[in-house]
Amino acid sequence: MPVFSEILVAIDGSKASEQAFAIAIEEARLHGAKLHTVYVVETGLFSSLPADNTVEIMYRALEKEGEQVLAKARALSAEKGVSLATHMKQGHAGNEIISLAEQLKVSLIIIGSHGKGKADRLLLGSVSNYVITHGKVSAMVVRS
């Protein structure tokens, strides 16, 4: 059975990502692994919009949401006695998750099966599918 020494879990505030985070905490405990979590501000949503104050307001709202989601993760991991490194990235979620996994040399990526809503999946495609298809390390997809 492989031992995971570095685990990265992607979170976005959805039910599936909350469940993925809970499993990541248990996996980190089980393997004595270092746990990382990432929230990606999906900037691809704004690429076709004209650059004005509205785009900046939308971006800042998503960034604030990410900070809140990461703060909640830090509190939960502290409650469970697991140390956590948090990361916020911007760009294409799948690319950013894979890039961070490579940079951190993680041995396992944990991700929820889908994001916050059906519209996200239609607009963004399946981030979990992208990570599984393009990632170079083991991945666990958690269903909600």
pLDDT at 123 over 70: no
Residue with tokens 């900070």: 67
Q: What is the pLDDT of residue 47?
A: 56
Q: How confident is the model at residue 119 (pLDDT cuts 50, 70, 90)?
A: very low
- pLDDT, residue 60, reads 85
Residue 126 confidence (pLDDT) above 90: no
- Which of 13, 8, 16 shows the shortest CA–CA distance to 100? 8
- Domain boundary assignment for the chain: 7-142
CA distance linking residue 94 with residue 91, whole number of Å: 9
Q: Are strands 34-42 and 84-91 parallel, antiparallel or unpaired?
A: parallel
Both tokens of residue 86?
């948090």
Q: What CATH architecture is 7-142?
A: 3-Layer(aba) Sandwich (3.40)
User: H helices of the chain, where?
Assistant: 15-31, 53-80, 93-104, 118-124, 127-134
Q: Residue 96: what pLDDT?
A: 96
CA distance 65 to 49: 21
Q: What is the mean pLDDT of the chain?
A: 87
Summarised one tens digit per residue, pLDDT across range 1-56 is: 568 999 999 999 988 899 999 999 999 999 999 999 999 998 766 555 566 667 67
Backbone angles phi, psi at 7, to 5 degrees: -120, 135
Closest CA to 25 of 16, 39, 37: 37
pLDDT tens across 45-67, in order? 655 556 666 767 777 888 999 99
Q: What's the pLDDT at 50?
A: 60
